[in-house]
Amino acid sequence: MEDQIRTEFLNNNFTLEDDETAEKCASLCMSFGMEPEMFVSKWELFYLNQQLDGVQVLKANLDSFKQFLERDKIESFRKRQTGLHYYTRDDVDMLLDDKQETEWQEKHLPATPSKERPTSGSYVDPMELTPPPFASKNRGFSLHTPADVSLKPSDTPFQRRVKKFNVQSTFNDHLSFEASEEAVSNSGDDDILKRLKPVRRCEVDVVRTGPEPGIRYMFDQTENRFGAVDRRIQNFAKVLEERLQRKMNDHVAVSSQEKVMVVGRICCDAEGHLNDNSILLEGSVEHSNGQRVRLDLRNIPRFSFFPGQVLGVEGQNPSGFCLMATRIFDSIPVSSSSLKSDEPPTKRRTSSRDPSDSEPRQYTRIVAAAGPFTTNDNLAYEPLVELFAYAKKVRPNLLILMGPFVDSEHPQIKQGTVGKLFSHIFQEEIRMRVEDYCEEMGDGCRIVLVPSHRDAHHDLIFPQPPFDADEFEDPNHQITLLSNPGVLKVDEVTVGFCTTDILRHLSSEEVSRVPQGASSDRMTRLASHLLSQRSFYPLFPPPQSVPLDLSVAPESLDLSSSPDILLLSSNLAPFVKVLSLPADIQRQENREKVEKVKCICINPGYAARGMSGGTFTEIHLSSGDSNTELEPLHKRAQVKIVRV
């Protein structure tokens, strides 16, 4: 149990203080009857609610964590007991008040058999609407249901949080940009003058489009899924043939004493997680009729596999039942970002900058945040309000909001206790705030909205169409509605987006081997799979929570070129990593001397965590001098992870 606890903490970027801490964690895990994965998830929630520093699990915090688990268990028990109520003194006062109120009404109000409500023209005595004088101070006449009642902003745990807008980590902190903290703290005349200065309008172009709004779905068939997976195998084999100058037409299940070169996808031999002894390789329909063969990896010192991964294998298959691998080609060489917009100019909601604008570009500031944008205890969207307030202070050129906006996993939405339509919540809490922000900031500001399959008011499908443009009033073309996943070009910098938690899903399905003494960054390895597989979602089959539909625009999942920045919202700990892949497949064995393609991968975290604030990211991009050659983006970009 201790080893499982250690592994799960490491997978979530946490470390244990010592062996005694690991032993106590294992004891708590068994005492509360939890799996290690659930135990670590509870710790992460406790870590965020308590605003702890560092990523080390300290023994001194375990007693408080135990009390947190006990309270959580009691609350979950009370929720299951729907007919159970714990009476307090307030309940007794309420019952007495109800009895006195009834006696007062019988004495002072005339009885009437009619239950019809008075019409607009009838006269109503105001005294009849006055509550009895002995009514409790804490009670009153209300037409709201309990679901409509929410805590005032000053009473919520979110408002009592500490370390507001503190920078949690900084990538390339040696670069000198205008500090966000100084912009937030500006006040008085300087702040007023800053607000009067217009924001430079950055260039924003849609590079990759997905399904169109209003598309019909739920017509996915097994044939569509099988065909999409087989096309990935064929495309991978075609690229390998071009790079290695050899045919990839060997059968995966044909016995041969000579070395063969086959291409296929990774599968598991049974239901459950992959391990070294359960890995199968499924060949293409064209060359292997879709047959599978066991993969022997004893001669491979280093690998990282997951279901659905397409790769090339060189080895021997003397029996026809087991392929003994001697070499693995687990990635397709990717080119640097050179994507061009494939959307017709008439459909682009984000036209380029005014050519007459001759203002020199110093840098581009981007603020990006991922939902959920409201805490679990209410639907007041306090983190979103704070995020807009921060954006109005620092005045970024581009604000990126990634769903979910109306989270289907929110307790009130899951329980069906919300007294509004989900679409009305989106209109009142999201659309109106977005439009007000654009109006206040001026024509220069830009904002991007990316949906999530967890949005209760939007299409439950992945890949997912963008929000309907008709729902927004955008006379100045400041709002960009992007599909999920999607790709944008911002001032010649390509940015990819995906709000489906692919990192979390890969983390739970991946099996890897690292040579003894060698180092490996798990988060970097997981994110690199997207580039090496040229797909926003290479995992197959997906978890049941992901509504993958490969009959609707499956090409929108393709990632043909490496973006400069990759934004992946995930429940894992926020991070900033530089992904590095070789540009030439023939020289992957000598990775140190080969030219590499770089990509900055960012997980901004969630804007709301439980009943407290989460994190978001702020990106500074230097445009440099047009007369000199620019450095690679990862050397001239600064990324900050900021607490809400």
Mean pLDDT of 231-252: 88
Mean pLDDT of 288-317: 93
pLDDT at residue 107 greater than cutoff 70: no
User: Would you call the peptide bond into 463 cis, given omega within 30 degrees of 0 as the criterion?
Assistant: yes
Residue 79's pLDDT is 63
Q: What angle do CA 256, 258, 259 make, to 5 degrees?
A: 105
pLDDT at residue 615 greater than cutoff 90: yes
CA 267 remoteness from chain centre? 26
pLDDT band at 361 (very low <50, low <70, confident <90, very high): very low
pLDDT band at 342 (very low <50, low <70, confident <90, very high): very low
Contact 402, 497 (CB under 8 A): yes
> Closest by alpha carbon to 582, among 573, 571, 590?
590
Tokens in use for 442? 């001026």
Mean pLDDT of 2-18: 88
> Closest by alpha carbon to 381, among 432, 415, 421, 441?
432
Whose tokens are 């109000």? That residue is 109
> Residue 490, CB half-sphere, CA atoms under 13 Å: how many?
32
Residue 78's pLDDT is 60
The rounded distance, in Å, linking the Cα atoms of 380 and 60 is 34
Contact 486, 206 (CB under 8 A): yes
Mean pLDDT of 272-282: 90
The rounded distance, in Å, linking the Cα atoms of 608 and 62 is 24
Q: If DSSP codes are grouped into helix, strand and coil, which group holds residue 228?
A: helix
pLDDT band at 51 (very low <50, low <70, confident <90, very high): confident
pLDDT band at 77 (very low <50, low <70, confident <90, very high): low
pLDDT at residue 31 greater than cutoff 50: yes
Question: Judging by DSSP bridges, how do beta strands 446-450 and 56-57 pair with one another?
Answer: unpaired
pLDDT tens, position by position, 153-195: 557 888 888 888 999 999 999 887 764 444 444 544 455 555 6
Which strand ranges, in their side-by-side order, compose the sheet holding 204-208? 204-208, 486-490, 493-498, 565-568, 596-603, 575-582
> Closest by alpha carbon to 535, among 327, 311, 341, 365?
311
> Residue 546, CB half-sphere, CA atoms under 13 Å: how many?
21
* Phi, psi dihedrals of residue 586, rounded to the nearest 5°: -70, -20
Whose tokens are 């060949």? That residue is 283
Residue 490's pLDDT is 93
Amino acid at 183: A
pLDDT band at 262 (very low <50, low <70, confident <90, very high): very high
Residue 138's pLDDT is 38
Q: What is the pTM (predicted TM-score) of this model?
A: 0.73
Whose tokens are 């300087």? That residue is 190
The rounded distance, in Å, linking the Cα atoms of 453 and 483 is 11
pLDDT at residue 350 greater than cutoff 70: no
Q: To the nearest whole number, what is the mean pLDDT of the chain?
A: 81
Mean pLDDT of 497-512: 94
pLDDT at residue 333 greater than cutoff 90: no
pLDDT band at 362 (very low <50, low <70, confident <90, very high): low
The rounded distance, in Å, linking the Cα atoms of 629 and 545 is 46
> Closest by alpha carbon to 529, among 579, 570, 572?
579
pLDDT band at 300 (very low <50, low <70, confident <90, very high): very high
Contact 445, 411 (CB under 8 A): no
Handedness of CA 455, 307, 591, 522 (dihedral sign): positive
pLDDT at residue 349 greater than cutoff 50: no
pLDDT tens, position by position, 383-426: 999 999 999 999 999 999 999 999 999 999 988 888 889 999 99
pLDDT at residue 338 greater than cutoff 70: no
pLDDT tens, position by position, 558-584: 988 889 999 999 999 999 999 988 765
